[in-house]
Amino acid sequence: MSLLEVEDLSVAYGAIEAVKGISLSVEAGQVVTLLGTNGAGKTTTLRTISGLLRPKAGQVRFDDQRLDGIPAHEVVERGVAHSPEGRRIFPLMTVEENLELGAYSRSRAGGVREDIDKVFERFERLKERRSQKAGTLSGGEQQMLAIGRALMSRPRLLMLDEPSMGLSPIMIQLIFATIAELKEQGVTILLVEQNASAALKLADYGYVLETGRIVLEGTGEQLMNDDSVRKAYLGED
């Protein structure tokens, strides 16, 4: 049994069906990526897994327990953390307060300070700005904070939605180096990312979505070498 199992998932916004019966799985310790153009259903899939949206049909199972239909805060308590598209940090709170809030679902406060220190070891820029309002950070620093906040819940599955969006090339390198480090540490990651080349180099497995359906799947290497993927997402003829 995989750590995460999505079975025949359909999600609609009113009369518009954004996700049309997709199935995917994520094994413990894997990095799995979802590829697709804007509107393909990638973000909707993550939002449904994390409990922010209710599916029209299908199931989401995590560690063989149903997630679909339970509130988002309970999904976090089960061990799934979501770093959303657009970062969604709390701009009027300090960096440290944002991180503390990431641990809100933990039943005991023990270890929170140690975990904040671990985030600061991972992202030294955040340590330098620990008392600064999060809304004054650069885009890259806000992305570091969003990832760090998600890690504060000690997730068994970390979902990252477009972590490199709008960042400078140097900051993109830093973010992907962080994802690679998390992978080496055994963190299970479900990654939505427009930078297909960088995502597939890290991914153990991947799925390609088009208009709400999975049209292709395979290992990261298989997808990197697939002609249709190379033309559509890697900019190659």
Are the beta carbons of 221 and 31 closer than 8 angstroms?
A: no
CATH fold, domain 4-233, is Rossmann fold (3.40.50)
Q: pLDDT at position 176, please?
A: 92
Q: Is the pTM of this model over 0.85?
A: yes
Nearest to 148 by CA among 117, 192, 169, 174: 117
State pLDDT tens for residues 159-181: 999 998 888 899 899 889 999 99
Token output for 211: 């208009």
> How is residue 96 written in tokens?
């440290």
Has residue 76 got a pLDDT over 70? yes
Q: Average per-residue pLDDT in the chain?
A: 91
> Does residue 74 surpass a pLDDT of 90?
yes
Identify each DSSP E strand in 78-185 by its residue range.
Answer: 80-83, 157-161
131-156 confidence digits (pLDDT tens) = 999 999 998 899 999 999 999 999 99
